[in-house]
């Protein structure tokens, strides 16, 4: 009978499986410990704790990787800090990789050498998930998303009933009893993938209505907790549900709701997982669609309908991870009278503190709010009355830091803002 | 007899050390190239090629990153330190293999650059000892590598200024020792730096974050 492997042995095996060229570089002698990334991380800025700087967090994992691969590891491991993995290290990794890093990538764009610290920490997340040490709630949420497909028949009727109620609301809002929230329509142009919650469906439905769009609502939610676990099996299965649905309905595009990580997964990560089965539809964010509608005049907007001052939070996953910087700004220029940029912004923006799955973990709310301090300061400095975020996780976190730091701002989604600004019925077929 | 020793450290020893150095680097690169490389596959939003160009160019433009904008002095240190290192390394080739260009003004200019690097090295060493955020991540190799470069700078500067036989012998002996040590140490970061900047440029360029058309 095969002897059961210890947690440490399993972890080492998983680490080895993930040892790619990019990881080998990020976990090598590349990092010169110069410390330039230290005050680029919102955790350090908020806490001034040298143990949670990017380099200090990555170093915990890097030393173990060096323990396996550094040339001096056998003769003088202590010389380069190389070490053997222990179970205690794994417990510390949970803090470093899950609690104290939101995977925002701000340290990468600020490292003169290009050390991919979040890759090192994401690898630790993957290893921890494989050995059962990842935060349970993230595992449950990922598994629930997979189970939804497996038990679709069970959910379907209840879901359709809820959508009917929302449809009635939409009809009232736009004053048209013919207005629809279509589900399962074959041949529609868009498959729109929302999150749980009417706030990710209603403004989009209203915008699609005014644009006269051919669309259909997905049976699934866009959220992919598998990516926070860095678990390729779960992440792939969660994405696959939507791909299968898009193929079945023969849509031309998958439109992801205002959700940073879901967009980054579908737009950038999933093509790597499905490279042998290329898709014949494209993936866009609702941000890109709203921008297109406004630029092409497919919907008419009136900025005087949003008469308050607005600032925009660049979600790390939409901005620094996906390059959506100009689209939200063009939308804001058309839809609000007083737009105020935060400083810094775009790829230099600070994370709100809620990324990487942190908003889903209630027991880490303390550090999440503390790490949100640089963002709170940024918002306050603009003097804006509202802050717009095009990511649901960010909105959740911004709502909490709004309360925690007494910012007194309104936290809004971009679709909500656009829906407010729409000149009714224009463009309706 | 004495001159033969100088000739040996200047030529033969350098060639042996350089060959070992090159061999070890070739091995490092070979080990890296053997590993799988998960390439970006999502449809391009920007340009990978421009991304790579930007990625390398960022080094020369301190305003391209918040870290160097906020800490401009650190960027100046970085520039002076690497200029010093460049001059010291250049000397190991020009003194033995191209003595004709080593006129007095050239030697003194190179010495000045090396002294600049030496001063910055001392500041870096002091910072590593004093700053808590650097102390917590520093290994013996970090301290030793900085100190070793200081020694290298010192002997380079003395050899360039005095052009005396004793300092020359010391300079070439130190250079050889250095060449044997570098591939095992933190100083080898520049090999990985090349790969890291390419990876960075490909990813952030393709995704339209740092370069190219933002469609
Ligand atoms: S990750 Fe980059 S910026 Fe940070 S200490 Fe290492 S080399 Fe310096
Ligand atoms: S990815 Fe973001 S949170 Fe994580 S270490 Fe880097 S700057 Fe900090």
- Ligand 2 centre to CA of A27 (Å) is 16
Work out the minimum CA distance from A26 to partner chain B, whole angstroms: 7
The complex's ipTM works out to 0.94
Question: What's the pLDDT tens digit per position in A7-46?
Answer: 999 999 999 999 999 999 999 999 999 999 999 999 999 9
CB within 8 Å: B66 and A40: yes
Average pLDDT (A234-252) is: 96
SS3 A412: strand
What DSSP string describes B180-201?
A: HHGGGSGGGHHHHHHHHHHHHH
Q: Which of A55, A134, A53, A50 is nearest to A90 (CA)?
A: A134
Q: Rounded distance, CA A145 to CA A240, Å?
A: 11
Using a 10 angstrom Cβ sphere, with 0-12 exposed, 13-18 middle and 19 or more buried, the burial of residue A206 is buried
CA A345/CA A194 separation, integer angstroms: 27
Question: What average pLDDT does this structure show over A120-127?
Answer: 98
Average pLDDT, chain A: 95
CA distance A1 to B194: 48
> Does an H or E element contain A312, and which?
strand A309-313
Specify the 3-state DSSP secondary structure of A386.
strand
- The rounded Å distance from CA B68 to ligand 1 centre is 12
- Residues in contact with A99: Cβ distance below 8 Å, sequence separation at least 6, in sequence order: A358, A361, A364, A367
Q: Is A423 in the pocket of ligand 1 (CB under 6 A)?
A: no
Residue A130 has pLDDT above 60, yes or no: yes
At B112-151, the pLDDT tens digits run 999 999 999 999 999 999 999 999 999 999 999 999 999 9
Torsion of CA A232, A235, A241, A245, to 10 degrees: -90
CB-based burial, B115-135: b 16+ in 10 Å, e otherwise: bbbbbbbeebbebbeeeebbe
| Cβ pair A387, A308 in contact under 8 A | no
Collect all residues with Cβ–Cβ distance below 8 Å to B18 and sequence separation of at least 6: B179
Q: Which atom of ligand 1 is nearest to the CA of A114?
A: 2
Are A255 and A220 in contact, with CB atoms under 8 Å apart?
no
Q: Which domains does chain B have, with CATH numbers?
A: 2-32+59-206 (1.20.950.20)
Is a pLDDT exceeding 90 seen at residue A427? no
Q: Shortest Cα distance from B17 to chain A (angstroms)?
A: 18
Higher pLDDT, residue B12 or B215: B12
pLDDT of residue A223: 96
Chain A environment of B58 (Cβ under 8 Å)? 112
Proportion of chain A above pLDDT 70, given as a percent? 98
Give residue ranges with CB within 6 A of ligand 2.
A 40-41, 43, 54, 57, 101-107, 117-118, 351
Q: Which ligand is nearest to the CA of A35?
A: 1
User: When comparing pLDDT for A148 and A102, which is higher?
Assistant: A102
Determine whether B1 is exposed, middle or buried from the number of CB atoms within 10 Å of its CB (0-12, 13-18, 19+). Answer: exposed
Percentage of the residues of chain B whose pLDDT score is greater than 70: 97
Q: Which residue of A has its CA nearest to B47?
A: A323
In the predicted structure, residue A425 carries a pLDDT above the cut 80 = no
The mean pLDDT of chain B is: 94
Q: With bands split at pLDDT 50, 70 and 90, how would you rate the model's confidence at A297?
A: very high
Over residues A315-329, mean pLDDT: 97
Q: What domains are defined for chain A?
A: 7-134 (1.10.1060), 152-294 (no CATH), 299-423 (3.40.50)
Are A323 and B197 an interchain contact pair (Cβ–Cβ within 8 Å)? no
Quote the pLDDT of residue B88. 97
The confidence score (pLDDT) of residue B214 equals 43
Contacts for B69 with CB less than 8 Å, ≥ 6 apart = B62, B63
Q: Do B209 and A22 touch (CB under 8 A)?
A: no
Tell me the average pLDDT across A346-362.
Answer: 96
Query: For the purposes of burial, counting CB atoms within 10 Å of the CB of A351, is it exposed (0-12), middle (13-18) or buried (19 or more)?
Result: buried
Does B215 have pLDDT greater than 70? no
Beta carbons of B196 and A29 less than 8 angstroms apart? no
User: Tell me, what's the pLDDT at B213?
Assistant: 45
* Closest in A25, A72, A275 to B32, CB measured: A25
C-alpha A345 to ligand 2 mean position (Å): 16
On whether the CB atoms of residues A283 and B45 are closer than 8 A, the answer is no
User: Which two tokens mark B103?
Assistant: 């006129």
E runs forming strands in A133-202: 190-193
Distances (CA, A) of B23 to A33, A70, B37, B143, B189: 26, 17, 23, 26, 16
pLDDT tens by residue, B150-197: 999 999 999 999 999 999 999 999 999 999 999 999 999 999 999 999
Among B31, B132, B144, the residue with its CB nearest the CB of A50 is B132
Q: How confident is the model at residue B68 (pLDDT cuts 50, 70, 90)?
A: very high
Backbone angles phi, psi at A239, to 5 degrees: -70, -40
In this prediction the pTM is: 0.95
Task: Encode A189-235 in three state secondary structure.
Answer: CEEEECCCCHHHCHHHHHHHHHHCCCEEECCCCCCCHHHHCCCHHHH
CA-CA distance, A263 to A222, in Å (whole number)? 8
Question: How far, in Å, are A194, A227, A230, A254 from residue A262 at the CA level?
Answer: 10, 9, 13, 12
Cα A114 to ligand 2 centre (Å): 13
Where does residue A235 rank: exposed (0-12), middle (13-18), buried (19+ CB within 10 A)? buried
Residue A349 DSSP label:
P
Q: For the sheet containing A410-412, what is the strand order?
A: A338-340, A309-313, A386-389, A410-412
pLDDT band at A2 (very low <50, low <70, confident <90, very high): low
Ligand 1 in reach of A147 Cβ (< 6 A): no
Residue A1 — pLDDT band, cuts 50, 70, 90? low
| pLDDT score of A426 | 44
């Amino acid at each position: 009978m095969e002897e059961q492997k210890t947690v440490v042995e399993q972890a080492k095996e998983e680490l080895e499986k993930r040892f790619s060229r990019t990881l080998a570089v990020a976990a090598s002698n590349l990092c010169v410990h110069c410390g330039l990334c230290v005050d680029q991380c919102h955790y350090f800025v908020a806490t001034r704790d040298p143990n949670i700087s990017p380099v200090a967090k990555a170093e915990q994992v890097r030393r173990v990787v060096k323990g396996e691969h550094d040339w001096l590891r056998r003769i003088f491991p202590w010389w380069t800090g190389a070490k053997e993995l222990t179970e205690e290290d794994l417990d510390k990794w949970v803090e470093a990789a899950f609690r104290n890093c939101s995977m925002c990538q701000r340290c990468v764009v600020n490292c003169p050498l290009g050390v991919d610290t979040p890759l090192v920490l994401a690898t630790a997340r993957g290893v921890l998930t494989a050995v059962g040490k990842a935060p349970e709630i993230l595992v449950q949420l990922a598994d629930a998303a997979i189970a939804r497909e497996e038990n679709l028949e069970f959910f379907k009727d209840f879901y359709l009933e809820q959508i009917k109620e929302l449809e009635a609301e939409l009809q009232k809002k736009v004053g048209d009893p013919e207005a629809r929230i279509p589900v399962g329509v074959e041949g529609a142009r868009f498959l729109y993938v929302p999150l749980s919650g009417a706030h990710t469906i209603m403004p989009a439905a209203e915008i699609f209505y005014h644009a006269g769009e051919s669309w259909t609502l997905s049976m699934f939610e866009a959220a992919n907790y598998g990516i926070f676990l860095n678990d390729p099996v779960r992440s792939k299965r969660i994405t696959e549900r939507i791909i299968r649905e898009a193929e079945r309905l023969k849509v031309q595009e998958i439109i992801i709701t205002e959700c940073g990580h879901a967009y980054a997964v579908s737009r950038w990560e999933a093509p790597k997982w499905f490279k042998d089965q290329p898709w014949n539809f494209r993936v866009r964010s609702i941000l890109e669609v709203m921008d297109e509608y406004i630029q092409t005049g497919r919907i008419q907007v009136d900025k005087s309908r949003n008469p308050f001052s607005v600032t925009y939070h660049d979600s790390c996953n939409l901005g620094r991870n996906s390059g959506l910087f100009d689209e939200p700004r063009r939308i804001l220029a058309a839809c609000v009278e007083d737009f105020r940029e935060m400083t810094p912004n775009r790829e230099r923006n600070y994370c709100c503190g809620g990324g990487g799955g942190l908003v889903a973990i209630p027991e880490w709310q303390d550090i999440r709010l503390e790490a949100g301090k640089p963002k709170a300061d940024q918002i306050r400095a603009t003097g804006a009355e509202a802050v717009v975020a095009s990511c649901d996780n960010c909105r959740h976190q911004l709502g909490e830091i709004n309360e925690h730091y007494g910012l007194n701002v309104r936290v809004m989604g971009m679709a909500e803002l656009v829906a407010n600004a729409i000149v009714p019925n224009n463009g309706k077929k | 007899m004495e001159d033969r020793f100088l000739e040996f450290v200047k030529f033969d020893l350098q060639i042996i050390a350089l060959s070992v150095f090159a061999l070890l680097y070739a091995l490092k690169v070979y080990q890296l190239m053997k590993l799988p490389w998960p390439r970006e596959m999502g449809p391009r939003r920007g340009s990978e090629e421009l991304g790579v160009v930007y990625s390398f160019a960022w080094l020369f433009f301190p305003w391209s990153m918040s870290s160097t904008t906020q800490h401009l002095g650190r960027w100046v240190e970085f520039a002076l330190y690497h200029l010093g290192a460049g001059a010291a390394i250049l000397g190991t080739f020009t003194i033995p293999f191209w003595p004709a260009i080593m006129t007095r003004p050239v030697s003194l200019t190179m010495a000045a650059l090396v002294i600049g690097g030496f001063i910055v090295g001392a500041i870096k060493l002091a910072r590593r000892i004093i700053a808590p955020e650097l102390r917590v991540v520093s290994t013996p190799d970090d301290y030793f590598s900085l100190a070793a470069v200081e020694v290298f700078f010192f002997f380079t500067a003395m050899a360039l200024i005095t052009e005396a036989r004793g300092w020359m012998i010391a300079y070439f002996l130190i250079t050889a020792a250095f060449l044997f040590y570098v591939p095992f140490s933190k100083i080898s970061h520049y090999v990985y730096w090349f790969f890291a900047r390419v990876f960075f440029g490909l990813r952030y360029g393709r995704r339209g974050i740092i370069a190219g058309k933002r469609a």
